[in-house]
Amino acid sequence: MTDQEIINALTAEGNEYFKALTIAGVNDNARMGRPFIIVSDDALPEIPVAMDISCSIMTVAGAMGTVGPGAAERIDKATEMGVENRLCASVKMGAYFLKAGILPVPDMVITTNSPCDAVDMLGQMMDNYPPWAKVPKFRLDAPHGQTDEDFVYFGAQLKEMVQAIEKATGKKLTMERFVEVAEESNRQASLIMDFQELTRAVPCPVDPDMARVGWELARWVAATDPSVFPKATGWLERLVDVTERKVKAKTGMDGVQEKIRFLWYDVSPSWGSKLFPRLRSELGAVCMKTYYSFHNYIPIDTTSMDSMLASVAKKYLMGTPMTRQAMHTADVFCDDIVRICKEDKCDAMIMPCHIGHRDTNAYQKLARDTCRANGIPFFFLGCDVWDERYMPADVVFDRLKTFFQSTGLA
Amino acid sequence: MSEENRSQVLKKFNDYAGKILNPSVENVKSADCRVVGYFCSFIPEELFIAAGLLPFRMRGTGSETTERADEYFTSCNCSFPRHCFNQALTGEFTFLDGLVVGTSCDATRYIYDNWKSSPIKTPFIYLLGYPHVSGVAMANYYRAELAKLKTALEEQFGARITDEKLRSAITLCNETRELQRQLYEMRKSASPPITGSEMVSVMVAGVSMPKDEYNADLKQLIEELEALPATNSTYAARLMVVGSCGDDDILSRLAEEQGALVVTDHTCFGGKLKYGAVDGAASDPLQALAEYQILTRPFCAKVGGAYQLRAKVILDAAKEFGVDGVLGQRLGCCDTWGGELYALKEDLKGAGIPSLMIEREYVPDSEGQLATRVQAFIETVRR
Ligand code: SF4
Ligand code: SF4
């Protein structure tokens, strides 16, 4: 197999796994014979994997519902519910799935206030959803602070959550298994860091977005089906291998004459396949990072159960994309911009400003000022990452092209 | 109460609610007392009062545009923080010696960073962690957060906040809540002596002036209202207003202009404030404050695990005050209240109480459309 064939195979494999995250996948997960939990947002895979339970994520199923055939009609139906027009469509879709009554009854529901008001609201809808009235519930309070006290506070809630899961499902979290999973999770995290480091080479050897794919496999897909967890490690190892080879050979991405490297400081849009490949092929402009392809190494400390829970808490609060950006003060948000642009040698920073992201919409000046102070060309878009109708991909392409030209980058 | 007979106290409250800087705040400032602004009702005023400070609840009263704030926030953020921040940028809050922002709704929380980076020069800016679940562990977390704020206030303002001072502040604020409840009780009658629109002013004034002065004014108002003859019983419908913020009387006023009467409410500047009491005898007054906000009164729509309580309080009030319908309001781009009102509408329907849920802007472009919707609703619930 050529390197490109390996990359294509990894992509295809990822896409196949992602089917488990769709609404159809949620219904399949419920039939897997394992205890089945629905969570409002990100699913802390270490705990469900170690307990061998299946966790489906409402916002992810919602986001998946905004793509594919009939997506626009689905988004419109979700909007008609009348919750909030400019509510993030992934959450709107999740709320719509509830209202439409198409979700299986889980063994347990876990909700959280992170990363944003929208998910907080969705969680409350799940908590009070009449058909799930008898289903055991657990609600997490993710703090906005970044101190050890905050991590211990959240870790203590995770401990309670484990007890609640044990009670609801009869499954046990053993120290031995938790350590095993935590060590593998650390290994996955370090592979993602290796990949992130390797993609900093000029020219960029492999689409950095593959870090998102690997992270989502190890986290979301593994949470729905724990048997994917070790497979995700293997997937990441193959990714790092091929990337290393390409760096040594100094070969860039297939068919790309790299001229511009930029940061897309938001979620990768569901319509990104119409934008990013075109930017690469027509302008040599490579997206080096999005929220989900940017990672920090926050290892799980396996010394004791409490240390594991506190470090899983820290990893959740400071290492989960979107939670990292939306839950904390602007210094985290702005420092990351500077750091990414420096480390990834970005020539520009694009602020997509998804309409549902109250954080980015409130941080536009701070981000602009940060970029100006650091000599980073800045461009504000204002799009909807889930609903392309708000600002079509070709309009985004044209606007970025004009921006790159006017700043002398293209 | 007709315009000419309107009580002096009511006029004063109306005046205070209609602007930001009022004579009582000016008096306090000239007496060398410091003023600290705060966002959201879960931040205990008692802590500021115990530090010898005047707490001032932030609002955007008088704002007509968000022009200057638009450089910081986009139109995809709620218009309440945008108007408040615009007022700050235009110098309306220069009298503040400090500002405490809570980690409440996203849009309001982000005022903290923007304020800090802006040219507004406020000597003390603090972000207070506020839990979003109602539970014992969360009350303990909030106590720890309040303890940090206490230390920061002591350091900044050279004050000592003793338990004794806290208890006396709790007594003062409990008295406010009790007096407000007495006023609300009077509205249960067939001929309420005060309109919903006037009541908004009463409540907003209460978070804009010293509590002892406010309590004295409230007592006087209650006496005056008790002495009034029962004349106000020919309204088209008795209504309740629920929803976010609510520092203006737009909805009540529009309803009352159409012949209805707003007899109670459950909003962040209104009826939510009068609920329950802080345990003034508790050995740890900080813990008592935290438990009151997280366990007794978890009324911020962001607080999970408490929706059923919030809905029950609203449904009970609707029955006790004999309302014919509920007007719900939320501001555009408010995600939490979007869900809250959606769920509430279902629950009200289940209880046989008609409701109209309205999305509006903090400063509406025109009131015409709102008025038409309110009028149409009143027609459906008319007595
Ligand atoms: S619901 Fe009320 S207390 Fe909560 S954030 Fe909104 S305005 Fe503040
Ligand atoms: S209306 Fe909603 S978003 Fe706006 S300030 Fe109040 S709670 Fe926050």
What is the reported pLDDT for B5?
A: 58
State which ligand 2 atom lies nearest to the alpha carbon of B337.
2
Residue of B41, B79, B101, B105 with the most ligand 1 atoms within 8 Å of its CB, for mutation: B105
- Specify the amino acid at residue A211: A
Task: Identify the three-state secondary structure at position A102.
Answer: coil
State how far the Cα of A206 lies from the Cα of A200, in Å rounded to an integer: 10
| Inter-chain touch B335–A326, beta carbons under 8 Å | no
* Model pTM above 0.90: yes
Helix or strand or coil: residue A391? coil
Domain count of chain B?
Answer: 1
Q: Do the domain assignments include residue B209?
A: no
B372 falls within a domain:
no
Shortest Cα–Cα distance, B330 to chain A (Å): 10
Per-residue pLDDT tens digits of chain B, which is 383 residues long: 555 557 899 999 999 999 999 999 999 999 999 999 999 999 999 999 999 999 999 999 999 999 999 999 999 999 999 999 999 999 999 999 999 999 989 989 999 999 999 999 899 999 999 999 999 999 999 999 999 999 999 999 999 999 999 999 999 999 999 999 999 999 999 999 999 999 999 999 999 999 999 999 999 999 999 998 887 788 999 999 999 877 999 999 999 999 999 999 999 999 999 999 999 999 999 999 999 999 999 999 999 999 999 999 999 999 999 999 999 999 999 999 999 999 999 999 999 999 999 999 999 988 999 999 999 999 999 98
Q: Which of B66, B73, B82, B110 to mutate to test the interface with A (most CBs of A within 10 A)?
A: B110
Bridging pattern class, strands B54-57 and B125-128: unpaired
Q: Which residues of B touch A155 (CB under 8 A)?
A: none
In the stretch 296-315 of chain B, residues with CB closer than 8 A to chain A read 301-302, 304-305, 307-308
DSSP letter, residue A78 = H
Give the count of beta carbons closer than 10 Å to the beta carbon of residue A156.
17
Domain that holds residue B27: 22-163
**Span from the CA of A317 to the centroid of ligand 1 (angstroms):** 23
DSSP strands (E only) in A59-177: 108-112, 137-140
Q: What are the start and end residues of each CATH 3.40.50.11890 domain in chain A?
A: 20-169
Q: Is B50 within a domain?
A: yes
**B85 domain-assigned:** yes
Q: What is the ipTM of this complex?
A: 0.94
Question: Which position has the token pair 């020919």?
Answer: B234
**B340 and chain A in contact, CB less than 8 A:** yes
Largest CA distance in chain A: 62
Asked if residue B40 belongs to a domain, the reply is yes
Cβ contacts from A onto B, under 8 A: 147
- pLDDT, one tens digit per residue, over A190-201 is 999 999 999 999
Looking at residue B244, its pLDDT comes to 87
What lies within 8 Å, CB to CB, of B163 at 6+ separation is: B284, B285
Distance from CA of A113 to the nearest CA of B (A): 7
DSSP string, B179-217: HHHHHHHHTTSSS-SS-HHHHHHHHHHHTSS-HHHHHHH
Would you say residue B96 lies in a domain? yes
Measured between CA atoms, the residue of chain B closest to residue A123 is B304
Question: Tell me, what's the pLDDT at B231?
Answer: 79
Outline which parts of chain A fall under CATH 3.40.50.11900.
257-295+329-410
Question: Which pLDDT does position B3 carry in this prediction?
Answer: 56
Residues of chain A with pLDDT under 50: none
pLDDT in tens, A156-191: 999 999 999 999 999 999 999 999 999 999 999 999
Asked if residue A377 has a cis previous peptide bond (ω within 30° of 0), the answer is: no
Whether B254 lines ligand 2, by a CB cut-off of 6 Å, is no
DSSP-derived 3-state class of residue B224 = helix
State the CATH number of the domain containing residue B42: 3.40.50.11890
Restricting to B residues 101-160, those with a Cβ less than 8 Å away from any Cβ of A are 103, 105-107, 109-110, 112-114, 117, 127, 129, 131-133, 135, 137-138, 141, 144
Q: Which of A275, A211, A286 is nearest to A253 (CA)?
A: A286
Structure-derived torsion over alpha carbons of residues B301, B305, B311, B314, reported in degrees to the nearest 10: -60
CA angle B206, B211, B214 (to 5 degrees): 60
Q: CATH number of A257-295+329-410: 3.40.50.300, 3.40.50.11900, 2.60.40.10, 2.60.40.1930? A: 3.40.50.11900
Task: Inspect the interface and report whether the beta carbons of A361 and B73 lie closer than 8 Å.
Answer: yes
Q: Order of strands, edge to edge, in the sheet holding B261-267?
A: B261-267, B238-243, B325-331, B355-360
A20-169: CATH topology:
Rossmann fold (3.40.50)
Hey, what amino acid is at B309? L
Report the distance separating Cα B47 and Cα A41, nearest Å: 35
Q: Report yes or no on B9 lying in a domain.
A: no
CA atoms of B359 and B365, how far apart (whole Å):
13
Cα A63 from chain centroid (whole Å): 11
Which residue of chain B is at minimal alpha-carbon distance from A118?
B335
